[in-house]
Structure 1
């Protein structure tokens, strides 16, 4: 690679960052960009005067103010006006205590001059660093507070929108007192205590089925037999009597089924009585429930039909009375209803 090409690449490497920095800073005050260009062309006196005037007018962002003090300080340093250079560079350090000049862009004497000023202002710069650090913490805390307030306001706004899109429905349920005396947990089911109602229904059902089965099993043990009897009034005739009995061989089975039938019946009525007492204890004549439901939009009402012609006749010179009908929709507890209104 030739020596000239190496020099060209080195120059581009030094100029490219400066061009990019200048383009990034051009988005601020246009006069700051103009002063930067004048400084590049060596118009130091013009830069010093115009930068001081622009600083005095105010209305600059902190980074723009830092840039103007730097340009004015370096311009004064290049002109040999050390008092003005010291004043502007001190102001620069008070804005940014850790500011440093780029040694690849700024001549070494200017860099050394700024470093000497930092040494003279060590205690002041340390105080400014602490103050700046506290200011940044306050700004961070303030930004976090504003963000929290914004999030809370957003949550409240969404909550308000949800409430506005919902409607509170109050349901009044009237309960029948006589249902409490119905077996199989009917009273508990009416009161919404379904678990206990299932217990009563299952227990009473099992006892009832057991009692019925025991009854039919006990009845199946009976036998019928005709027993002849002598007819006292008619010695030649004979009469028979049908007898229903349980054979002695089935006596043990009969006792077992009889006991099971009676005990299951007694258990059924005991559980039934407990269910009735429990239902009466928890009985309420009416229960009011409040629910929140999404607000439903009503469909557009049907167009009103044309007025109906009147069938009454009117005297000449007078206006005949007219009749009209109107159909409308309205909200009900179960949905929508329709109504017909007649006007005479």
Structure 2
């Protein structure tokens, strides 16, 4: 009876397709050779060579699993149960969840393997837990190394960026006399453009109003010659010209005169406030520190004032607002205009 079972097992093993035991390509070339020998039924040779190769060591886990499987099945087919159990137990200790494929391996061998797994149930459960813990540790270690790699890459790029940058000290010289220029010149020099625009617009309106009032007041005058007796001349007469404002224009005279004086007084008041404010905030020089790349540093940036370290003007200087007042002739007299540039 036992001899008949052994013949059936041997026939099923030989009947299996040549590719039945083909698995993932392993690293050791001798493993592939042993698999081919097993498929040709050379079980004694496979058992001996597999044991010798395992004893030499230097194999990966996948190769060890494959060799123990081939040796265990070869020993089982040869009827050497103890050796089969030893190899299959070693296989399960490497991979507690390993199972033989029932479509490839004969049922007696599969049943033999399942019996070994039942006997080792407690040990295999412990090995599974240990394996899960090891995989979790390996995963955590891999993630840690990956984070360190990313951080190192970030630090390297940051170091390259810092190496390509230079610190530039910008020294701006400010003229003290500009503070006494009207139309917010002192504020514009100090970079306080909003306040400078307020002073420029206010003083400009008052100045234009004062100029217009002056010419409007002067236009009220009329000229009239007066004949006088002059005993010193031969003909005994002399003539002079007088300028006067007719009584009918008295109301216009008072209005234009008041507007002229008020606008002039307002202009000088605002001008004085602007000067005081500019003097209060005046600094002889202002130092600014900026960071530029070497490419920007190499570009021409106009006239720069260099100190003992790198000193330069701002890379992009904006045009400062300015104000101007102009007079122009008209058909009926003289006009004035205020121009503001931003």
Same fold (TM over 0.5): yes
Aligned counterpart, 1:149: 148
TM-score by length of 1: 0.72
Over 3 Å counting, the alpha-carbon distance change for 1:116 and 1:246 in structure 2 is farther
**For 1:25, what is the secondary structure of its paired residue?**
coil
Higher relative contact order (CA 8 A, sep 6+): 2
Aligned counterpart, 1:281: 280
Aligned counterpart, 2:74: 75
Conserved 8 A contact 2:171-2:311 = no
> Alignment length, in residue pairs?
285
**For 2:148, what is the secondary structure of its paired residue?**
helix
How far does the alpha carbon of each residue in 1:218-262 deviate from its partner, in whole angstroms, 9 at most, with x for none?
Answer: 222222223444557789844444332333333333333333333
Aligned counterpart, 2:159: 160
Cα RMSD, aligned residues only: 3.0
Mapped to 2, the partners of 1:17 and 1:223 lie a distance apart of 128
Mapped to 1, the partners of 2:29 and 2:146 lie a distance apart of 33
Over 3 Å counting, the alpha-carbon distance change for 1:226 and 1:158 in structure 2 is same
How far does the alpha carbon of each residue in 1:284-309 deviate from its partner, in whole angstroms, 9 at most, with x for none?
Answer: 222222233333599xxxxxxxxxxx
Aligned counterpart, 1:9: none
Report 1:192-203 matches (<5 A): 192-203=191-202
Aligned counterpart, 1:66: 65
Q: Mind listing any 5+ residue stretches in structure 2 that lack a counterpart?
A: 1-15, 299-309, 313-342
How far does the alpha carbon of each residue in 1:61-90 deviate from its partner, in whole angstroms, 9 at most, with x for none?
Answer: 222222122212222222222222222222
How far does the alpha carbon of each residue in 1:112-161 deviate from its partner, in whole angstroms, 9 at most, with x for none?
Answer: 22233333333333332222222222222222221221122112212222
TM-score by length of 2: 0.73
Q: Mind listing any 5+ residue stretches in structure 1 that lack a counterpart?
A: 1-13, 299-331, 335-344
Report 1:267-306 matches (<5 A): 267-295=266-294
Aligned counterpart, 1:88: 87
Mapped to 2, the partners of 1:65 and 1:273 lie a distance apart of 97
Once the two structures are overlaid, the 10-residue window that deviates more, 82-91 or 230-239, is: 230-239
**For 1:242, what is the secondary structure of its paired residue?**
strand
**For 1:226, what is the secondary structure of its paired residue?**
strand
Over 3 Å counting, the alpha-carbon distance change for 1:176 and 1:124 in structure 2 is same
**For 2:105, what is the secondary structure of its paired residue?**
coil
Mapped to 2, the partners of 1:265 and 1:191 lie a distance apart of 26
Query: How far has the Cα of 1:29 moved from its partner?
Result: 0.9
Aligned counterpart, 1:206: 205
Aligned counterpart, 1:265: 264
Mapped to 1, the partners of 2:278 and 2:289 lie a distance apart of 23
How far does the alpha carbon of each residue in 1:291-333 deviate from its partner, in whole angstroms, 9 at most, with x for none?
Answer: 33333599xxxxxxxxxxxxxxxxxxxxxxxxxxxxxxxxx97
Report 1:93-132 matches (<5 A): 93-132=92-131
Over 3 Å counting, the alpha-carbon distance change for 1:219 and 1:25 in structure 2 is same
Over 3 Å counting, the alpha-carbon distance change for 1:212 and 1:115 in structure 2 is farther
